[in-house]
Amino acid sequence: MKTYRIPNTDLEVSRLAFGTWHMGGNWDKVAPTADMFDRAGRLLDAAVENGITHIDLADIYTMGKSDLVVGDALSKRPGMREKLVLQEKVGIVIGGNPDFGPPGRYDFSTGHIVREVEASLKRLNTDYVDILALHRPDPLFEAEEVAAAFDQLHSSGKVRYFGVSNHNWAQIANLQKCVDQKLVLNQVELNIMHHYMISDGMTANMVDTTAYAGVMGTMDYCRMNDIMIQAWSPVAGGSIFNPGEDAAENVKAVAALLKELAAEKNTTASAIAFAWLLRHPAGIQPIIGSLNPSRIPEAVPADDVDMSRVEWYRLLEAARGAGVP
């Protein structure tokens, strides 16, 4: 698989990443089963065998159990940790987690950031993560608190680089002025159906821009400031492959076109959906999130799909349900 160099780092990563959202089972405090530990190992093996080197995690994923099963898999596979770029996210507090209690909230305090990173490291059986991202914007964040956490984690060697997730351009700029470390990535929801960050520029100065209001300028800001864009939910949760009879017409249109292009290019519909994101010149990195190891080789051929400008715009037109403005 071809790779990206994450700007302002020494990290060379696969163009597709692998996510661990549901890997630990249910979102509760029930311990993972033996099957879940085994599945985590098979998923990591499949990722590495298919050239994927970037693994996305978060302290909240299945209430820490995703970290736990990944850590178990790494401990049973000597040398695998050194082959991977591990990316952790913190900052969301689940109100239903008895360790914290309600309400659900965000917490960018020094103590919370540091404690959650250290807890994740313990679960992952590693001394460091390559990247730490703040998961969602905390409206109560204080500059000194975040700066202190980043400095402590960086100087101790527990985190090499830092980024954000689900932030718009102004939030990134505001955070960047507070910390000494360069913010190197922004992980956002992005797919053919949820194309707002990409379509944002085309809707400038139009009357109906409600859907784009939260992301206006974010793609351009990240490109101008060498911040990698990562795409979570890159295939819209799979809804674009086999939509039901009651699905929206634009979803059906996208599904039909994905199948058509896949047949023409002798590949999978999944590969075409991922290739749509890879075709963008921003260097977007989609994150595969399936718990089925067979889904990984279905997506990986996207790396070799040659998608024309016409094909890319046909898919966008199908998703929009209308031509470009």
Residues with Cβ within 8 Å of 136's Cβ and at least 6 positions away in sequence, in order, are: 91, 92, 106, 165, 166, 167
Alpha-carbon distances of 108 from 98, 143, 175, 217, rounded to whole Å: 19, 9, 11, 24
Count of CB atoms situated within 10 Å of the CB of 287: 22
SS3 285: strand
Q: Which two tokens stand for residue 93?
A: 């507090």
Distance of alpha carbon 124 from alpha carbon 222, whole angstroms: 30
Report d(CA 204, CA 208) in Å as an integer.
10
Is 61 noted as a catalytic residue in this protein?
A: yes
Q: Which of 61, 161, 196, 212 is catalytic?
A: 61
- Distance from C-alpha of 187 to C-alpha of 286, rounded to nearest angstrom: 9
Q: Are 180 and 150 in contact (CB under 8 A)?
A: yes
Tokens at residue 62, please? 């299945």
Q: Give the catalytic positions in this structure.
A: 61
